[in-house]
Amino acid sequence: MHIIVVGCGLAGLTAAIALARAGHKVEIVEAAPQIAYVGAGIQVSPNSSRVLRKLGVDKYIEKYCTEPVDLRMMRWENGKKLVECPLKKPSHDEYGSPYWHVHRADFHRGLLECALELGIVTHLDNRIVDIDAEAPSLTSHTGRRFTADLIVASDGLNSKCREVVVGHASPPIPTGQMVYRVTIPARKLKGIPGLEEMITTPRNNHWIGPYGTILSYLLEGINETLVNLVMTIDVNGRMPDGVNQRLSSADAARAAFKGWDPRVDQMLEHAEHVLEWRLFTHHEIPSWAHSSKKLIIIGDACHAMTPYLAQGAAMGIEDAAILGGLLEKYPTMDTIGKVITLYERLRIKRTARVAEASIDSRYFTQMPDGPKQEERDAWLVEHPGIWKGHINIRSRKEFLDWLFGYDAYKALNEAIQAEEGGDSAGKGTSMGVHSHVAEIISEA
């Protein structure tokens, strides 16, 4: 089939690669006049690295990835260690695929290189302003018209295609929080007491505090080692209404996090790039395809979520694997109804649960100081590592098995087999999940 993918973000590029590998002719239409890389680092958990490896994208990005040993949670005001949850070892030993930290520029460039090698044509500077889902066709702001057999829309948080699928405006919802996204060359922090480990050991350093958190991790990018900071806090008038992203300054971030671990302040003295970013989420929608069956949405366009679990792009990458696999098995428009049914069955509930878990994680990590926080901290100190029933979702074995252990290709094969064999038992949302975990998750 001839398929047009709208949007050249992480989900769109992965989908384009998956669809090309499935034997389709793929073109991408992108609004931006050039591919720009916003934000700095991104975490790629085993559920998404597995897909990237299967699609052969690892060849283009692995050299830029670091593997964090663990997630270390610390008290906001002094960096006192509360708990460490291993990441590297279980990712390899239990989930069979690595946990990566990578600069978005390197990730994006790797995906793009892979897409270009597969012969995927990219039309930049074509913002889609009109969508005819029945034809299907797209018209860009330049007046250019694109037609195809099928449109896969990955146009992100403010997706126009989502509106067409839903049939009405469906804007993202502000969460009341924002992040300062900061990068600092690690060399500038050399010799500062207390920072040595942070600039040499790959790990997630996570300060948890009242109504905010700070995450730092290392990026071994193409140029030099960077410290990547994601500093989350209530907006509280810090950004003007209507502004969702803008350049900021180290001073603004320092003022917002006054009183936190003094090492953060020391790091911010050397910050080179600071961006302010308002955080949004989406309501779950019941369908991810237009009734014409010729327009399907993926990625943030369907399920933009809060970043507290670092799973937004991972879910888009899983969507891409599933949709690509379905369109390999059922490669014509005659069977598109089956593709859509299975795609929605496999994806909608899983992404909604991840989005919910991400919100739970916000409230767990951002408790105001007081008796509940003291109880939480005491519990964390006594329970390092990964345990069944752990109060911290980041350490809860059954949740991690469900999240990181998810094999999109296994889920896909099981769903196809169930469909072909008419096995209604396979039609739940837990496919690809170990059965005991599936029970726990479906009870949640």
Ligand X SMILES: Cc1cc2nc3c(=O)[nH]c(=O)nc-3n(C[C@H](O)[C@H](O)[C@H](O)COP(=O)(O)OP(=O)(O)OC[C@H]3O[C@@H](n4cnc5c(N)ncnc54)[C@H](O)[C@@H]3O)c2cc1C
Residues lying near ligand X in the complex (CB under 6 A)? 6-12, 29-32, 42-43, 127-128, 154-157, 160, 179, 181, 230, 277, 299-300, 307, 310-314, 316
CA–CA distance, 79 with 228 (Å, rounded to integer): 17
Smallest separation (angstroms) from ligand X to the CB of 279: 6
- Closest CB to ligand X among residues 144, 436: 144
Shortest Cβ 304–ligand X spacing (Å)? 6
In angstroms, rounded to a whole number, what is the distance separating the alpha carbons of residues 183 and 270? 9
- Compute the distance between CA of residue 74 and CA of residue 79 in angstroms, rounded to an integer: 5
Q: Which residues contact 151 (CB under 8 A, 6 or more apart)?
A: 3, 4, 5, 6, 131, 133, 136, 138, 161, 294, 295, 296
SS3 37: coil
Minimum CB–partner distance for residue 230 and ligand X (Å): 5
CA distance 314 to 300: 10
Residue 154 vs 429, nearer CB to ligand X: 154
Q: How far apart are the first and last CA of the chain?
A: 40
Say if CB 303 and CB 284 are below 8 A apart.
yes
Nearer to ligand X, 283 or 388 (CB): 283
Q: How far is the CB of 227 from ligand X (least distance, A)?
A: 15
Closer to ligand X by CB, 138 or 199: give it.
138
| Greatest Cα pair distance in the chain | 65
Tokens of 330: 């059922």
- Please state the closest distance from residue 418 (CB atom) to ligand X, in A: 28
Among candidate residues 268, 225, 272, 246, the one with its CA nearest the CA of residue 102: 225
Please state at what angle helix 104-117 crosses helix 10-21, rounded to 10 degrees. Answer: 30
**Gap between the Cα atoms of 371 and 374, Å rounded:** 5
The DSSP H or E segment spanning 416 is: helix 408-421
- Helix ranges (H only) for 68-221 are 88-93, 104-117, 160-166
CB nearer to ligand X: give 83 or 230.
230
Shortest distance (Å) from residue 425 CB to ligand X: 31
- Choose between 10 and 218: whose C-beta lies nearer to ligand X: 10
- Residue whose CB is less far from ligand X, 261 or 276: 276
The smaller minimum CB distance to ligand X, of residues 8 and 26, is found at 8
* CA gap 70, 47 in Å, rounded: 17
Distance of closest approach, residue 8 Cβ to ligand X, in angstroms: 5
Q: Which residue is nearest to ligand X (CB)?
A: 9
Q: Could you tell me the smallest distance in angstroms from the CB atom of residue 164 to ligand X? A: 11
Task: Please count the CA atoms within 13 angstroms of the CA of 103 that sit on its side-chain side.
Answer: 21
β partners of residue 147: 137
Nearer to ligand X, 177 or 395 (CB): 177
Least Å distance, CB 317 to ligand X, is 8
